[in-house]
Amino acid sequence: MDRDLAPPVADGAARSRPVVMADVARLAGVSHQTVSRVLNDPGTVRPETRERVLTAIRELDYRPNTAARALVTGRTRTVGVVAFDTRLYGPASMLHAIQRAAADAGYYISIVSLESLERRPVLDAIGRLRGQAVDGIILIAPEVSVAQALQEIPSSLPAVAVEGLMDAPMPVVAVDQYTGAARATTHLLDLGHTTVWHIAGPTDWYEARARQAGWRDTLEAAGAPVPEALAGDWSPQAGYEQGRELVRHHVAGDATAVFVANDQMALGVLRAMHEAGIAVPRRLSVVGFDDIPEAAFFAPPLTTVRQAFTEVGTRAMALLLDQLDGHPADPRTITVDPDLVVRASTAPPSDTVV
């Protein structure tokens, strides 16, 4: 066992001043250096020793001096995150996943949330985070407009992008939106629908473009008619409005199935169908995308595509840590497979129901 190198500290004295690393070492029966390794490089410490030190940290309510530690290690153990529109389920879930992955790795998070992902606001956000001496940056970058800003990030800054972005000068981790859309469309075709309509997301989002491409290519590969995509903006209101347009095509006999680019718009579609007296799924099948927590409680419960946000956050953090360990950034895209979750909003077209 390592011997404590710190002088004894009386209980009264320990309570009268902030707890320091030497106090943790004394209580755990290890050296100051061992406590430092537990805090900065826990993988180098035996599990039983590490647990003893962590127990002492909790008992003493020790708070490391991050400024002093940064001077010694050259790291603040803080990761900057540039986020966008966290009111939307996708970006909000991605941010939460990154926060959890960072905490699991022993890192803090500093967040800059932007209303616009134009070049100037993104570069300003990165500058602010660099001013806080973050060790690296993760960018939640779903919009096409962010591409120019990413080209201007210094190569010396460890950085990873997540969500949708392709061909960036840094590692990218993204859910395979194209495959998710293809699976949703294939599911509807396999049920016997002759074609599938689509309510798309905003055209300046990578995810919306990939989902629309996956839908269109799947129809073309099946030799099915390709209807004109209906334009949405991710909101239930847009889904409702385009759902009312879809009612007209349904009455004409052209629409028996629709793939909606996210669950919020799918909710609007369900409302429009309910008002028009069109039963889902008996007369119109509906598939969404995201699998928001409420999707299982829609009426009917929504068939949708579930995104693996936790895996994306974990992989993004791992790629950033790899750069922080001195490995060069590999500007490639890692895609994570989504899952199709089948619920009660899809069924064979009514003329084939037995």
What is the residue extent of each domain of the chain?
Answer: 11-64, 76-175+309-336, 177-307+340-352
CATH architecture for the domain at 11-64: Orthogonal Bundle (1.10)
User: What pLDDT was estimated at residue 173?
Assistant: 94
Q: Which of 95, 142, 146, 94 is nearest to 125 (CA)?
A: 146
CA distance linking residue 258 with residue 287, whole number of Å: 6
Q: Return the C-alpha torsion angle 58, 62, 67, 72, nearest 10.
A: -80
Q: Do the beta carbons of residue 261 and residue 255 sit within 8 Å?
A: no
pLDDT band at 297 (very low <50, low <70, confident <90, very high): very high
317 three-class SS: helix
As a whole number of Å, the end-to-end CA separation of the chain is: 74
Q: Do the beta carbons of residue 126 and residue 136 sit within 8 Å?
A: no
pLDDT tens column, 42-95: 778 888 998 999 899 889 888 776 555 554 555 688 999 999 877 888 888 999
- CATH among 3.40.50.1980, 1.20.120.550, 3.30.70.980, 3.40.50.2300 for 177-307+340-352: 3.40.50.2300
CA distance linking residue 323 with residue 327, whole number of Å: 5
pLDDT band at 336 (very low <50, low <70, confident <90, very high): very high
**Mean pLDDT confidence for 268-284:** 97
Distance set, CA 124 to CA 114, 130, 149, 270 (Å): 10, 10, 10, 41
The answer, yes or no, to whether residue 1 has pLDDT greater than 60, is no
Q: Do the beta carbons of residue 86 and residue 155 sit within 8 Å?
A: no
Identity of the residue numbered 139:
L
HSE, CB side, 13 Å, CA atoms: give it for residue 228: 6
User: What pLDDT was estimated at residue 135?
Assistant: 95
User: What pLDDT was estimated at residue 109?
Assistant: 94
| DSSP conformation class of 289 | S
pLDDT tens column, 156-209: 999 999 986 667 889 999 999 999 999 999 999 999 999 999 999 999 999 999
Just give the CATH number of 76-175+309-336. 3.40.50.2300
| DSSP conformation class of 143 | B
CA distance linking residue 185 with residue 194, whole number of Å: 11
User: What pLDDT was estimated at residue 73?
Assistant: 54
CA distance linking residue 255 with residue 258, whole number of Å: 7
**Mean pLDDT confidence for 299-311:** 96
User: What pLDDT was estimated at residue 69?
Assistant: 57
Question: At CB < 8 A and 24+ separation, what contacts does 66-74 make?
Answer: 66/108, 69/39, 69/40, 70/133, 72/36, 73/40
153-167, 284-298, 305-319, 334-348: the lowest-pLDDT one: 153-167
The answer, yes or no, to whether residue 14 has pLDDT greater than 50, is no
48-57, 58-67, 287-296, 334-343: the lowest-pLDDT one: 58-67
Same fold, 11-64 and 177-307+340-352: no
